[in-house]
Amino acid sequence: MPDDFEAMWSELAPLGRSAASGGYFRQPFTSVESELRSWFREQCAARELPVEADGNGNLLAWWGAGSDAVLVGSHLDSVLDGGAYDGPLGVVSSLAAIDLLRSRGVAPRRPVAVGAFAEEEGSRFGLACLGSRLASGTTTPESARELRDRDGVPLLDAMAAAGVEPSLGRADWLDRIGCFLELHVEQGRDLVDRERVVGLATEIWPHGRYRFDFTGDANHAGTTRMEDRHDPMLSFAMTALAAGKQARVSGQRATFGRVDVAPNGTNAIPSRVTAWLDARGETDESLVRLVAEIKRQGTERSGRDGTRLEVTSESVSGAVSFDPVLTAGVRSRLADRWGDVPVIPTMAGHDAGILAAAGVPTAMMFVRNPTGVSHSPEEFAEMADCLAGVEALADAIEGLVS
């Protein structure tokens, strides 16, 4: 008898959990992530689901073989100090949904695949959805080979060290996928405000990551007169304030969540501040406008500070609309048990967005999160809601394979 949802969830609970914060550090190709991958393989073995590794770090477990498969699943990695649910909820729910379908006696007419995608958060190599980008050909192997983590470890070395045999590039499993349905914890309070347990997604907002390099002149913190300084920290600080204000007034999102300061000493004016902007906009045009305005204000301030600013787009993902036919089909399938399921946009990126942009008919299902918090230890879903999500996912899959 394979483990049920609650048993699987409690097995995962200690893996990568920080005793200090209660949050998770499940960075790709680390020893803890290897444990997660082994756990996934063991669970699939217990269900007699053969697992395929694609050389990009992604794992796919197959219930049935052939083409036109219904792909479900999500990712096992987390942001730095993240929650337990973002990612693993979709993977664990998919395995539990297969158990439920088997107990219902469903004999699928199409294969069902459960995916566990690599480096969805971009928390180690900086590029979100790295596994699905490589598998879909959205990112080239050549550019991925250039990726390094914060300690300078190249992606391929990290993969090899984790026992993942790298063979980067478009995956042939993509040609065997008919559609993708990713279940995810909600990362806002839409469902809780509506008192609904499950929802579906309409679209993903365009979003991107931009590196802001501010350079100035290192000097003594005591002996350098204030008017003689070229302090890149001041240029950055003003740019961060401008980003917050611009996003607020235009109804978009802008966040500087990561900063690297050189030489990072208390008694020296920094020579360089590198900060990463995560920006998201309602449309492709509004995202471009937002980033351009932040850059303009940062450049203007740098001019006044006698510092220099260089902005590099590290990744930009355009607007994604989920497949309306697939979404409507899932919605009508869910209507019997779940009523009129809300369909809501999301400002978060997902592997579902990458595969949708690559032409795979894709839909997303959300499970209520009472805190509305995500990318933080506070992220949460009630066990009863998780189990309801499993049932809804099983209902949706059953509709697609019957």
Q: How far is the CB of 307 from ligand HGY (least distance, A)?
A: 29
Distance, in Å, from the CA atom of 37 to the CA atom of 58, rounded to the nearest integer, reads 10
Which among ligand HGY, Mn ion, none contacts residue 128 (Cβ within 5 to 8 A by kind)? ligand HGY
Q: Residue 121 or 305: which CB sits closer to ligand HGY?
A: 121
| H-helix or E-strand spanning residue 356 | helix 351-357
Q: Residue 219 or 255: which CB sits closer to ligand HGY?
A: 255
Distance, in Å, from the CA atom of 88 to the CA atom of 86, rounded to the nearest integer, reads 6
DSSP state at residue 117: E
Does 120 bind ligand HGY (CB under 6 A)? Our answer is yes
Q: Is the link from the previous residue into 141 a cis peptide, with omega within 30 of 0?
A: no
**CA-based nearest residue to 5, from 394, 390, 396, 397:** 390
Enumerate binding residues for Mn ion (CB under 5 A).
86-87
CB 78 within 8 A of CB 26: yes
Q: How far is the CB of 287 from Mn ion (least distance, A)?
A: 19
Q: How far is the CB of 78 from Mn ion (least distance, A)?
A: 8
Pair type for strands 24-25 and 80-82:
antiparallel
Q: Residue 209 or 333: which CB sits closer to ligand HGY?
A: 209
Q: How far is the CB of 11 from Mn ion (least distance, A)?
A: 20
CB 254 within 8 A of CB 246: yes
Q: Residue 281 or 349: which CB sits closer to ligand HGY?
A: 349
Residue 62: count other Cβ atoms within 10 Å of its Cβ.
Answer: 18
Of 155, 158, 168, 348, which one interacts with ligand HGY (CB under 6 A)?
348
Does 77 bind ligand HGY (CB under 6 A)? Our answer is no
Three-point CA angle 16, 20, 24, nearest 5°: 25
Q: Residue 120 or 282: which CB sits closer to ligand HGY?
A: 120
Does 89 bind ligand HGY (CB under 6 A)? Our answer is no
List the x/- string, 126-165, binding to ligand HGY by CB under 6 A. --x-------------------------------------
Q: Which residue has the tokens 């949904």?
A: 97
Give me the residues that bind ligand HGY (CB under 6 A), please: 120-121, 128, 348-349
